[in-house]
Structure 1
Amino acid sequence: MDLGMAKPGPDTDARGENAAGFVSDHSYIIGFSHLHDSGTGGAPSLGNFPLFVHPGCPGDSYLNCTFSTLGRSVRRTENSAQARPGYFAIGLENTVRAEMTATQHAALYSFSFVPEQTVSSPNPGGPATNEPVEIPTNPLILIDIQDLGKTRTSGGVRVEESGRIVGHGTFGPSFGVGKYQAYVCADFRGAEIRASGIFEGDHPREGTKQLEDMRQSSAGAWLHFDHPAQDRILARVGLSFISIDQACANAEAEIPDFDFDRVGHAAAAIWAEKLSVVEVDDHSGSDELQTVFWSGLYRTLLSPQNYTGENPLWKSSEPYFDSFYCIWDSFRAQHPLLTIIDPEAQAQMVRALLDIYRFEGKLPDCRMSFCKGYTQGGSNADVVIADAFLKNVSNGVDWNTAYEAVLSDAEVSPKSFNVEGRGNIESWLDLGYIASDHRDRNSTGPHSRSVSRTVEYAYNDFCIATLAKGLGYSADYQRFMRRSVNWQNLWNHDQRDLLLLWDRPGREREATSFVGFLQPRRMDGTFGYQNTRVCSPGAEPHICYYDTSQSTYEGSPWLYSFYAPQDMATLVRLVGGPAALADRLDYFHESGLAYMGNEQSFLTVFQFHYAARPGRSSYWVRRYIPSQFNTTVAGIPGNDDCAMGAFTAFAAMGLFPVAGQDVYLITAPLFRELRLPSRRGPESPAIIRKVAAPGQGRVGDDGMMYVQSAKLNGQPYTKSWITHHLLMEGGVLELTIGREETDWGTAEQDLPPSYPFTSHFREMH
């Protein structure tokens, strides 16, 4: 379901890659679980209460089936996976075919069996053997009270007389601190139950129907069925974070009839309605491009997940969303895209963020499973809130609370900036940057990422200034705008671009002629040093994570030196002018320094606009789509977090948002025409259309990628950017494209804005 709680899917034993359960490789299937986070990186998340289905047990005895995760794992049938919105199916080499669909809080599975079939015997935990074995057809289904990350610390399970299995567990989040409880209620239809019981590891018991003190990693309950008359067993799984009773009530209310086709059709209809707000000209773009685009829109709508009514932590009439995973990833493209295609959901998410602030004292930068997630950079909920304010995503939003919340981020130290708020606020306020040797006495957290947090804090403060101005706090506006230039205080004019020589430790040589980069700075004003390339794809990319000793997070000084979206006029001057910025951006993308699998690189594809070269932005969109964003198994360059999908969708539309500003940068769209929803309703869409320049070819030809001229609602339009007004009121943006880069959008008055208080540079000595 879009933004729904129940997300059934297969889980695999792929090591280090199964954060959302399923992986398209040759790893083994270990079960089918019902709660997942979509596309996250890091440790596996959720994956609670997996079902596993044996088509039968050797000797027709439950004692001979395998129950533990390692013992029960089985290979998937090659090329058997089928997926569409609201439905997934896969075949297993033990002859089971699993199909699944969902409602908001419940999953419905159909497990079908091929009777009396001889197949190759799976060899769990190793390569398959070629010895044929007879597969019996009296199925056994188990529920394991475990999660993907094996984080359970307590739990229990019970088999009721009706055959219903209920259970609960206490689990840990994958990228945060704390614990959460989850509850399950499973019912089955299609065959009589011949035996039932519980298991611990590979040791089942029939006489015992309840287990509370779970000591084994794999432990749960099982049902052994007679042969199903229709060769199919249906499993309905209700879920809750409140109680077993609520899990059962959710299932009974949402799937009362076990009608798989009805539930599947209903889910497909909901998805069709959700995606129908966008229309694409069917005669432009390849089938692959269509798939990339619609898949991107679909994935954008998977998280954050709507857990309203399932919050065990506090009572509130406000919506509750979870799996903000993480706002550092999602603020740049996903939330701006939701603002266009589902503004009501985006408003509810903002309200949920504010309710978290009311009850927990701080806005999250990351949150999952009712737990506080680790803060990766700045306080980027500030950007989401400012973006919503600027674009009138206001339904039910309390802007007074919103302003109070962002002020708290900016000026009140949290107990731990590991999981909320900002660290090193004293250094930020006193020095105008996060000093690399400053130790926060008011808040605990890692003494790291001083460069990347500085540039993010500067932009966060710019967004707070925007909100202050809109709400009438003029003094605050000026104060936060002054702070928004603080990124400049880490600019080292003399820093050269140096290449690490791995075969000669401690030695470096000049890599390019580019001079001037962000660098760490000490409290006494002297600069420290981090190699400009460290944490880029070719230079120790994996040493700049959360607890890094480096000054940048998941990216190099090369990358972070571009991050001044509020102050690009100053950045242009610092690097030597517009042409020099364009050269830097081209080198960044050509040289392998850029990694499109991480969200901070998104905006760099489009920052040529600020160098008066919007055509280069169009060029690089086409370099990355479809070379890195495509329909192959490797067609998403990094973990998705719903953000990769949003990037591809925006790139295809020809508009890319500068999140936190009322600015969309214009590139040549990838389709002939797109119709986007406006707030005025379906009769007044926002239309983005491209036409071919006379004599240069057709709009779909290779090389037709440069905007030659533009019209907005029939009038000539020379700016390389537009505001949200088009999405609010509707209208037509018509772009004439051709094969050569032109001077469209390159005049100084047509460049994207850089803001008044950020037009000067303060040197610190």
Structure 2
Amino acid sequence: MPSFGLCPRSIAFIVLATALGSDAAAIDPLSYVDQLIGSRNGGNIFPGATIPYGMAKAVADTTSGSNQGGFTLDGTPISGFSALHDSGTGGSPSLGNFPLFPYASCPGDDINRCDFPKKTRANHGQFDQNKVVARPGYFEVTLNSGVKAAMTASKHTALFQFTFPASDGNTSHPLILQDLTDLSDSRQDNGTVSVDEKTGRITGSARFHVAYFCTDFSGPEILDNGIFVNSRATADVKNLTISRSINGYPLPGGAFVRFASTDTPVLARVGLSFISTEQACSNGEAEVPDFKFDELEQAAADAWRQKLSPITITPGGVDEDQIKNFYSGIYRTMVNPQNYTGENPVFDTGEPYFDSFYWSNLASPCLDTVQTNSSQGGSNADVVLADGYLKGITAGIDWDVGYEAVVKDAEVEPFDWSSNGRGGLDSWKHLDWRGFGTMTRSISRTLEYSYNDFVIAQMSQLRNNTADSEKYLQSSDNWKNLYKEDQTSKFANGQDTGFKGFYAPKYLNGTWGEQDPLLCSNIDNSGAACSLQNTAHETFESSIWEYGFFVPHNQGDLITLYGGPAEYVRRLDFLHDQNITYIGNEPAFLTVFQYHYAGRPALSARRAHFYIPRFFDTTPEGLPGNDDSGAMGSFVAFSMMGLFPNPGQNVYLIIPPFFESVNITHPQTGKTATVRNVNFDPSYESIYIQSATLNGEPYTKNWIDHSFFTEGKELVLTLGRNESSWGTDIKDLPPSLGEYTGFNETTSGRRAARNIGTKYKAGFSQGGPRLN
């Protein structure tokens, strides 16, 4: 999914999280987390056992085509239980390395009558879809064979507990295998595995990326152990190096351990590392020294409670599913990114090291995560850094180095810019747009580069670097160079949409190219390549229609280009009402709230309530698209909190929370901010703000800055059933680099803003207090 949609993900939640608020003490947030939301219908979530941002992520792996998070509730069987996963990503499955699989016994007590390859052992992986247990730090499933698999985790170590059915009188020797595959069978070159004859310890590695594991067992006496290749096993060999097969696919192989009885559960401790097998063993021994499953599960639950409890609510009589939706959304923003600090395989460093970083978090600001090996638009790490800088995150950060990094992004073209960073900088610097025909995505790159430069300009201004501030402010207006005022848009049947003026591709010589504004939209059935393909078009995973609103820093000038606030609102309504946008993709997120910029914050509230819970609910099908590393969860959580951030700016757009009140305790200042609704209606008939106070004083702006959280302010919103004039004055609109003009028109039969005929330039959003 593209990175420009700007929904709130981890930076905002990291900045907002710590201790429990008092007026909602009766609510335990863990009891309202449903990890199975999105486990069906392509949500691709990881529903298993982990700690916040943990490297170890233990879950059952199904054979589904949507098993990017390992487990799905779509009727497909389980092929293994593994401890490395991602959550909510699209594309091909990754991770799921080194899965375990348990058998209560092999037929005839013959190990070679057990199925070892992943495809055939899945025949023994059926389970009751209605009896899966998932809670923060814990996952459990019982196979139809009667084997119960429970699991929990610490930072780098997963602990599995396999309980076998009672023997039917015949001798049963349970067997647990561990193989060298991953979810997508992507192993390259050789894999190695060894099993210790006395202890049963299995160690090994394989090159997907290079990963290492160390598995120790506790429970019944070990009967024997050995290795397997494809469908054959032997206890006579303890070491194996296995290559790819002739056809290029990884040859199945691994090790097994067989136990003397089924009387007691078998505990399997899997230590993980990207450094070495020795490090994997050390991680397991240090984090889970005594195989105490219940204690480790409790520690994981406590870690989650500490992270979730800073955000508390007074429900006000809303349906319990709304509370589940809210806390489950927050939970998913903290499953990713994985904290791999200390596990950097390239550099021996204690510096923070994460994966799944930047891509979807830009589109959702909570921690902005960009896939490490794919550049979707601009250099959106710049937005992540600027977001933190503007909001005063300074502890442990060398902002001189941070600033050097964003300037380098803007000025130095990487060797392979089709995959990493900004490209086509020559045309960007000399023509002020990304030229059509030099590479795909020229429109989306031009728009994203423009915003990237704006956030650099903000940082420059706060650092008193006037030259850089002026330079990057100027280039942040380059988006205008691709606006073609006579460009029209037609549906596939030839009917005109009734709107004129869209972005269009432009050749290096300044002549216009062509792209249908509806190409790559939600209603486009042409089969066009819209992603990272070499034949892709000029917008990444989105249409010109949707990108038409992506000027987060200069809505004033965009509204003017579109003919004023009334036309802007009409166009925004058309985008949503005609299903041109798709709320299951991040580019749609900010558009839900962009009515604020046209002086219609009530319409943002109405639109948010249209999408939640209609498209986001608490069923396994409850996500409209893949969760994208918590992006969907953060959209839900910030929308229901009533404060939606515009990433890279010190701006939160205000709508009424979905609860009577929400409290957020700041981790650095320890102060608690509160948003409270007066006249709250749990049936959501009264969702329009009539008036507001901030710390007891009248407050008319339809946005608020980050000092609200750091200083622990109270925002009180009085609600009613009808749209009011609150937040509609030009002076109350969110910051815009360009002036707001044209607000002497009417929208839906009433003035879109007061102060008729005046102009207001909001300028830069200012940084909050510096937090040392």
Normalised to the residue count of structure 1, the TM-score between the two structures is 0.87
CA distance in 2 between counterparts of 1:638 and 1:162 reads 48
By how many angstroms is 1:510 displaced?
3.2
By how many angstroms is 1:758 displaced?
11
* 1:150–1:217 CA contact under 8 A, matched in 2: no
Secondary structure of the residue aligned to 2:491 is strand
CA distance in 2 between counterparts of 1:584 and 1:205 reads 68
Match of 1:314 among 341, 347, 351: 347
Q: Which has the higher mean CA deviation after the structures are superposed, 397-406 or 136-145?
A: 136-145
For residue 528 of structure 1, what is the aligned residue in structure 2? 513
Answer yes or no: is 1:330 the counterpart of 2:361.
Answer: yes
* 1:481–1:758 CA contact under 8 A, matched in 2: no
CA distance in 2 between counterparts of 1:181 and 1:680 reads 37
CA distance in 2 between counterparts of 1:301 and 1:486 reads 36
Cα-to-partner distance string for 1:372-392 (whole Å, 9 max, x where unaligned): x11111100000000000001
Answer yes or no: is 1:81 the counterpart of 2:66.
Answer: no
Match of 1:581 among 561, 568, 579: 568
Answer yes or no: is 1:366 the counterpart of 2:400.
Answer: no
By how many angstroms is 1:315 displaced?
2.2
The letter of the residue matching 2:176 is I
CA distance in 1 between counterparts of 2:565 and 2:677 reads 27
By how many angstroms is 1:196 displaced?
1.1
For residue 393 of structure 1, what is the aligned residue in structure 2? 393
For residue 617 of structure 1, what is the aligned residue in structure 2? 604
The change in CA–CA distance for 1:722 and 1:645 in structure 2 (over 3 A counts) is same
* 2:318–2:683 CA contact under 8 A, matched in 1: no
CA distance in 2 between counterparts of 1:136 and 1:98 reads 21
The letter of the residue matching 2:94 is S
CA distance in 1 between counterparts of 2:87 and 2:76 reads 19
CA distance in 2 between counterparts of 1:665 and 1:64 reads 62
CA distance in 2 between counterparts of 1:491 and 1:32 reads 52
CA distance in 2 between counterparts of 1:527 and 1:510 reads 23
By how many angstroms is 1:756 displaced?
5.1
Answer yes or no: is 1:248 the counterpart of 2:230.
Answer: no
Answer yes or no: is 1:537 the counterpart of 2:525.
Answer: no
CA distance in 2 between counterparts of 1:471 and 1:517 reads 36
* 1:158–1:221 CA contact under 8 A, matched in 2: yes
Match of 1:167 among 192, 197, 203: 203
1:380-419 counterparts in 2 under 5 A?
A: 380-419=380-419
CA distance in 1 between counterparts of 2:384 and 2:171 reads 55
For residue 176 of structure 1, what is the aligned residue in structure 2? none
By how many angstroms is 1:77 displaced?
1.7
The change in CA–CA distance for 1:432 and 1:649 in structure 2 (over 3 A counts) is same
For residue 70 of structure 2, what is the aligned residue in structure 1? 21
Match of 2:175 among 134, 140, 145: 140
For residue 16 of structure 2, what is the aligned residue in structure 1? none
Secondary structure of the residue aligned to 1:212 is strand
Secondary structure of the residue aligned to 2:511 is coil
For residue 36 of structure 2, what is the aligned residue in structure 1? none
Match of 1:458 among 425, 450, 471: 450
* 2:165–2:262 CA contact under 8 A, matched in 1: no
For residue 67 of structure 1, what is the aligned residue in structure 2? 116
* 2:502–2:545 CA contact under 8 A, matched in 1: yes
CA distance in 1 between counterparts of 2:470 and 2:118 reads 59
By how many angstroms is 1:96 displaced?
1.0
By how many angstroms is 1:466 displaced?
0.7
For residue 627 of structure 1, what is the aligned residue in structure 2? 614
The letter of the residue matching 2:58 is P
By how many angstroms is 1:12 displaced?
1.1
For residue 499 of structure 2, what is the aligned residue in structure 1? 514
CA distance in 2 between counterparts of 1:34 and 1:210 reads 22
The letter of the residue matching 1:165 is R
By how many angstroms is 1:542 displaced?
6.3
Answer yes or no: is 1:743 the counterpart of 2:729.
Answer: no
The letter of the residue matching 2:407 is L
* 1:566–1:754 CA contact under 8 A, matched in 2: yes
* 2:177–2:257 CA contact under 8 A, matched in 1: yes
CA distance in 1 between counterparts of 2:599 and 2:672 reads 30
The change in CA–CA distance for 1:727 and 1:613 in structure 2 (over 3 A counts) is same
CA distance in 2 between counterparts of 1:169 and 1:83 reads 29
By how many angstroms is 1:365 displaced?
4.1
CA distance in 1 between counterparts of 2:397 and 2:419 reads 24
1:330-349 counterparts in 2 under 5 A?
A: 330-335=361-366
For residue 125 of structure 1, what is the aligned residue in structure 2? none
For residue 11 of structure 1, what is the aligned residue in structure 2? 61
For residue 253 of structure 2, what is the aligned residue in structure 1? 219
The letter of the residue matching 2:697 is Q
Cα-to-partner distance string for 1:156-179 (whole Å, 9 max, x where unaligned): 00011233333333434xxxxxxx
Answer yes or no: is 1:181 the counterpart of 2:210.
Answer: yes
By how many angstroms is 1:598 displaced?
1.1
CA distance in 2 between counterparts of 1:676 and 1:135 reads 59
Q: Which has the higher mean CA deviation after the structures are superposed, 536-545 or 25-34?
A: 536-545
Secondary structure of the residue aligned to 2:718 is strand
Secondary structure of the residue aligned to 1:726 is helix
CA distance in 1 between counterparts of 2:560 and 2:298 reads 57
* 1:167–1:183 CA contact under 8 A, matched in 2: yes
CA distance in 2 between counterparts of 1:83 and 1:152 reads 30
CA distance in 2 between counterparts of 1:304 and 1:334 reads 13
Answer yes or no: is 1:105 the counterpart of 2:141.
Answer: no
Answer yes or no: is 1:488 the counterpart of 2:480.
Answer: yes
* 2:73–2:129 CA contact under 8 A, matched in 1: no
For residue 98 of structure 2, what is the aligned residue in structure 1? 49
* 2:67–2:93 CA contact under 8 A, matched in 1: yes
By how many angstroms is 1:479 displaced?
0.5
Answer yes or no: is 1:196 the counterpart of 2:225.
Answer: yes
Cα-to-partner distance string for 1:87-145 (whole Å, 9 max, x where unaligned): 0111111211111000001000111122247xxxxxxxxxxxxxxxx997421100011
The change in CA–CA distance for 1:328 and 1:527 in structure 2 (over 3 A counts) is farther
For residue 655 of structure 2, what is the aligned residue in structure 1? 667
The letter of the residue matching 1:496 is T
For residue 762 of structure 2, what is the aligned residue in structure 1? none
Normalised to the residue count of structure 2, the TM-score between the two structures is 0.86
Cα-to-partner distance string for 1:562-606 (whole Å, 9 max, x where unaligned): 000111011101111101111111111111111111111100000
Secondary structure of the residue aligned to 2:609 is helix
The letter of the residue matching 1:163 is T
Give the structure, 1 or 2, with the largest relative contact order (CA under 8 Å, sep 6 or more).
Answer: 2
By how many angstroms is 1:276 displaced?
1.0
The change in CA–CA distance for 1:136 and 1:77 in structure 2 (over 3 A counts) is farther
By how many angstroms is 1:322 displaced?
1.9
CA distance in 1 between counterparts of 2:614 and 2:528 reads 23
Q: CA RMSD in A?
A: 1.8
The change in CA–CA distance for 1:328 and 1:249 in structure 2 (over 3 A counts) is closer
* 2:63–2:76 CA contact under 8 A, matched in 1: yes
For residue 685 of structure 2, what is the aligned residue in structure 1? 703
The number of aligned residues is 681
Secondary structure of the residue aligned to 1:656 is strand
By how many angstroms is 1:532 displaced?
1.2
Answer yes or no: is 1:39 the counterpart of 2:88.
Answer: yes
* 2:560–2:740 CA contact under 8 A, matched in 1: no
CA distance in 1 between counterparts of 2:236 and 2:303 reads 44
Cα-to-partner distance string for 1:174-194 (whole Å, 9 max, x where unaligned): xxxxxx211111111111222
For residue 441 of structure 1, what is the aligned residue in structure 2? none
For residue 477 of structure 1, what is the aligned residue in structure 2? 469
Secondary structure of the residue aligned to 2:495 is strand
* 1:334–1:642 CA contact under 8 A, matched in 2: no
By how many angstroms is 1:680 displaced?
6.0
Q: Which has the higher mean CA deviation after the structures are superposed, 216-225 or 539-548?
A: 539-548
Match of 1:152 among 187, 208, 213: 187
For residue 285 of structure 1, what is the aligned residue in structure 2? 318
Q: Which runs of 5+ in 2 are unaligned?
A: 1-50, 245-249, 742-758, 760-772
The letter of the residue matching 1:243 is S
CA distance in 2 between counterparts of 1:732 and 1:244 reads 52
Secondary structure of the residue aligned to 2:573 is helix
